Amino acid sequence: MAHEEPSKSAPQTKLVIRNIGLLLSGDLASPILDADTVVAIGDHIAVVGKEKDVDTSGATVTIDAKGTALAPGLIDSHVHPVCGDWTPRQNQLGWIDSYLHGGVTTMVSAGEVHTPGRPKDIVGLKAMAIFAQRAFHAFRPGGVKIYAGAPVIEHGMVEDDFKELASAGVKILGEVGLGSVKDGKTAQQMVSWARKYGIQSTIHTGGPSIPGSSLIDKDMVLETDADVIGHVNGGHTALPDDQITALCERSTRALEIVHNGNERAGLLALRTAMELKQLNRVILGTDSPAGSGVQPLGIVRMISLLSSLGEIPAEIAICLATGNTAKIRNLNCGLIAPGREASFVLMDRAQHSAGKNLLDSIQKGDLPGIGMVVIDGAVSTHRSRNTPPATTAPEVVLR
């Protein structure tokens, strides 16, 4: 039977989200917007503004936010996917769908390193990266976007290997240091080749995380000059304090703080970045699945941790997990602005939190209650099964 192409004249969907009580932009420069309505046409944001000034007619779906907060969908800058929605690291199914219930709409692979029998020859590692890039582009559990296909560099790779990977659609490297390349000079050469062809790099930082990895200290991180200093707070074991502050002070690259790291070291990195007035460099990830398990609420936990103990406003902490990461990872999500992907998380103060509102509750260390997640203009999930229940949840009032 012949395959019937979808009609090019099919009408686009129009999503209207109204009655937003707090609109969090994801942008450090202006984290709270004076707006109560968002309109998305298809999978992108069309208009952000006051309902009285916005054309809401012709909506195919209307969501009444009921005074709750809307933020960009959260981004996990550091995951290790393998095959579909299964992780052999913990032999767990449905982990990506569970992260969706933690408000995560986008994930970036730091390498498919937990793949059983992961090939380490050059032909094999390139083939695996291209396969993973293709597979996760086509398969999106719950709608979550996974940017995967992140090869771990190995000795013997030459410039043409990076050119070939880029031409096949690979855009990220797995953590430098998890393969056989463990010296700064070789790593720097390969990172430069990757950068030449538009492939972004991340370096492992700190002590070994799994058998086969090793210590990567500040000297190798600085010499390699990867685009992202992966888990600057260790994954799991952190570098000494003076090395962490040196990385913040002597490098201009992104500083990634992860859930599966040293929390005290993460707070040190955050405070150092603030002292340097370089909070725009800070991004958040979970570094999971890992030996410590799967953390569906890892990103919201990081937001609450850094806000409550790092003493930054909650709306700023949310920017670290949205707009900051989007800008550094070159993604068209993470910000509430026309032209950006229409992926949102709607939240409210968790029931019975001591905080007087959502932002105050996060500042006090509580997790938000997630009432709905929207990806590419479509509702992916209603009230989260994993967060504490939101005091008020949004409602779809028109389909």
DSSP annotation of 149 reads: -
Backbone angles phi, psi at 385, to 5 degrees: -85, -5
Residue positions counted in the chain: 399
3-state helix, strand, coil in the chain (%, to 5): 30, 25, 45
- 264 SS3 class: helix
The pLDDT of residue 5 is 39
Q: Which residues contact 24 (CB under 8 A, 6 or more apart)?
A: 31, 32, 33, 69, 70, 71, 72, 315, 318, 336
Q: Which residues pair with 143 in a beta bridge?
A: none
Tell which residue, 205, 269, 213, 272, has the closest CA to residue 239: 205
Which residue ranges in the chain fall short of pLDDT 50? 1-7
Q: How far apart are CA 76 and CA 259, in angstroms?
A: 10
Enter the tokens of residue 39.
């309109």
Q: How far apart are CA 201 and CA 146, in angstroms?
A: 16
The pLDDT of residue 209 is 72
The pLDDT of residue 399 is 65
- 44 SS3 class: strand
Per-residue pLDDT of 82-130, as tens digits, reads 999 999 999 999 999 999 999 999 999 999 999 999 999 999 999 999 9
Contact at 8 Å (CB) between 82 and 114? yes
Contact at 8 Å (CB) between 71 and 318? yes
Parallel/antiparallel/unpaired status of strands 254-258 and 282-285: parallel
The pLDDT of residue 210 is 66
Contact at 8 Å (CB) between 199 and 227? no
Q: Is it true that the peptide bond before 240 is cis, omega within 30 degrees of 0? A: no
Enter the tokens of residue 272.
């150092």
Residue with structure tokens 């990081």? 302
Tell which residue, 312, 117, 145, has the closest CA to residue 212: 117
Which CA distances in Å does 74 have to 163, 338, 374?
A: 31, 18, 11
Task: Give the number of C-alpha atoms closer than 13 A to the C-alpha of residue 281, restricted to the C-beta side.
Answer: 25
The pLDDT of residue 9 is 52
- 249 SS3 class: helix
Q: Which residues contact 318 (CB under 8 A, 6 or more apart)?
A: 24, 26, 31, 71, 303
Q: How far apart are CA 191 and CA 240, in angstroms?
A: 25
